[in-house]
Amino acid sequence: MRRTTEQQWRRMFIWALGVDRQLRLALWL
C-alpha cells in the first residue's frame, strides 16, 4: 500500500511541475 501511494505521489509531483512550467511559459508569452 505504501509503495503504491509513494509512486502516485511522485507522478503527481512531477505532473504538477510540468503544469507549473507550462503555465509560467503561457503567462510570459
DSSP category for residue 1 = -
Cell of 28: 510570459
d(CA 16, CA 24): 12
Picking from 7, 6, 25, 29, the residue whose alpha carbon sits closest to that of residue 17 is: 25
d(CA 13, CA 6): 10
pTM above 0.75, yes or no: no
Render pLDDT for 1-29 as a digit per residue (tens, 0 to 9).
678 889 999 999 999 999 999 999 999 87
Per-residue pLDDT at 1: 64
